Structure 1
Amino acid sequence: MGDYHFVYKDVEGASTQWDDIQRKLGNLPPKPAPFKPPAFTPAPDEASLPKDKSWIDQKTEDQLEDLEEDPDLDDDRFLEEYRKKRLAELRESAKVARFGSIIPISGSDFVREVSQAPSDVWVVVVLYKEGIPECGVLMQCLEDLATRYPATKFCKIVSTDCIPNYPDRNVPTVLVYNNGAVKANYVGLHSFGRRCTPEGVALVLCQSDAVLNDGQSGSDPSRNAVIEGVRKRFIEKVVTEHEDDDDGSSSD
């Protein structure tokens, strides 16, 4: 027995003369456009791309080193010089941004990690004790600063591991070192103001020297520039908190 449920389908996009008349009279919606696949575009060949400044900027350090053997760059003195400059920038950036967090050390590490640190590196050491709330408050601020200023070395050490019998009433204590010498020390959380914030701690640390270094200002950043940046962030934070309070009060 034949299949009486078969439905004939015409070529996609085709229509009958009757359908065309009905569309002219407005009894049928406009005929949809037939499907047309997008034109095939082959993936660009990297070898055919123009070799210019932006092309070099996209390269990693390893790729830039490989380009040293590229004969095309030898023919273009500008690109070869720019390749060397870009490679030097990447290496310098990797060298400067070498910390970025608080490094835990022990008593036996102190001389190597702090006293013998390179002369161009400022080291901030916090003496702390677990379970003392003031230490936790200051540690949060220093963790924030360690992220913002990766070229400054931040370390933490248990107070009695650094100085035997060091009184708990003196923790947290912050020592600032540079070129093997103590440049400043701050005993107790009160040294950083009534309300301890990352911005407040930053201003105290930079009272006399440019202790904080974000790695963007060279090896000898201006103390005034650092302080100005800290003040700007502090103002932005106050404004943001004020706006958040206004939004919260208006929604009640």
Structure 2
Amino acid sequence: MQDPNADTEWNDVLRSKGILPPKQEAEITEEQIQQILDQTIQEKENKSKGKSYEDMDLDELDEFEDEEDERVLLQYRQQRINEMKKLQEKSRFGDVREISAEDYTTHVNKAGEGVWVVLHLYKSGIPLSALINQFFYELAAKFPSTKFLKSVSSTCIPNFPDKNLPTIFIYYEGEMKKQFIGPHTFGGMNLKKDELEWMLSEIGAVKTTLEEDPRKKIVDMMESAVRDSRARNDSDSDDNDW
């Protein structure tokens, strides 16, 4: 005998005539329900991902913007953390350290990648050396990413001539970049902190905010004084002609 619940065309005809009772629907198991729910959720997610802003309704836009804002904030936060870590790594000096010959290799030649080292060779009793040491403490605090060092010349380099003092050596990643040797290099006791800062910035050892060489003002003033003196002399000469 044919199964009355079988899904056949003949049974469909008999049901339409009322000869067979309506087909009984099979029960849905919990597993099937869960599969349907999972499939619906997945289809909704795929649909939302593929939508443009114009195709989304208000609820979808709110949900999307919340997720996007959170992602952007997390990305920005991580970027700021990385930037602060790099800044902390670079800003690890900020003071002037006294070194000896034994420290030279470690603190100068092996200072590290991306590190500028400014070393002052000095000796007690030389006024210009004392002045530069004073400036070094101020500049070290202002530029903590640059390594400022000082060393007694005879302790660091035996038999270093006193006539060459003060001397400043500038290194970058362990390589010598510049030497300032002797008092004439600094302009004697007239040296100002801004002038020394500019000298270091020209090499790249510090990133100054000064807009121009402070020494230029002195040169301009001297040239102006010379011009005024010549003008007065010319005027006096003209007066004598009468």
TM-score norm. by structure 1 comes to 0.53
Q: 2:159 aligns with which of 165, 168, 180?
A: 165
User: 1:84-134: per-residue Cα shift (whole Å, max 9, x none)?
Assistant: 122212212211211111111111010010011123111110011123222
Matches of 2:114 and 2:84 in 1, distance apart? Answer: 19
Matches of 1:167 and 1:105 in 2, distance apart? Answer: 19
1:211 is the counterpart of 2:205 = yes
Q: How far is the alpha carbon of 1:179 from its aligned partner?
A: 2.6
Matches of 1:98 and 1:152 in 2, distance apart? Answer: 9
Q: 1:197 aligns with which of 192, 199, 204?
A: 192
SS state at 1:98 partner: coil
SS state at 1:199 partner: helix
Could you tell me whether the CA contact under 8 Å between 2:122 and 2:150 is conserved in 1? yes
Q: Supply the AA of the counterpart residue of 1:134.
A: L
Q: Supply the AA of the counterpart residue of 2:103.
A: D
Matches of 1:233 and 1:94 in 2, distance apart? Answer: 30
Q: How many residues align?
A: 151
Distance 1:140-1:189 versus aligned 2 partners, 3 A rule:
farther
SS state at 1:155 partner: strand
1:101 is the counterpart of 2:95 = yes
> Which structure: larger Rg?
2
Could you tell me whether the CA contact under 8 Å between 1:176 and 1:182 is conserved in 2? yes
Q: How does 1:63-74 map to 2 (within 5 A)?
A: none
2:150 aligns to what? 156
Could you tell me whether the CA contact under 8 Å between 1:192 and 1:204 is conserved in 2? no
Could you tell me whether the CA contact under 8 Å between 1:125 and 1:174 is conserved in 2? yes
Could you tell me whether the CA contact under 8 Å between 1:116 and 1:180 is conserved in 2? yes
Q: How far is the alpha carbon of 1:185 from its aligned partner?
A: 0.9
User: 1:129-185: per-residue Cα shift (whole Å, max 9, x none)?
Assistant: 123222111111222221221111111111011111222222211111113221111
- Tell me the C-alpha RMSD between the 2 structures: 2.8
Q: How does 1:1-252 map to 2 (within 5 A)?
A: 76-194=70-188, 195-207=190-202, 209-213=203-207, 226=208, 229-231=209-211
Matches of 2:67 and 2:187 in 1, distance apart? Answer: 57
Between Structure 1 and Structure 2, the one with more helix by share is 2
Distance 1:80-1:154 versus aligned 2 partners, 3 A rule:
same
Matches of 1:147 and 1:130 in 2, distance apart? Answer: 23
Matches of 2:130 and 2:107 in 1, distance apart? Answer: 23
SS state at 2:119 partner: strand
Q: Supply the AA of the counterpart residue of 1:109.
A: D
Matches of 2:71 and 2:201 in 1, distance apart? Answer: 44
SS state at 1:125 partner: strand
User: 1:3-45: per-residue Cα shift (whole Å, max 9, x none)?
Assistant: xxxxxxxxxxxxxxxxxxxxxxxxxxxxxxxxxxxxxxxxxxx
Q: How far is the alpha carbon of 1:197 from its aligned partner?
A: 1.0
Matches of 2:210 and 2:201 in 1, distance apart? Answer: 10
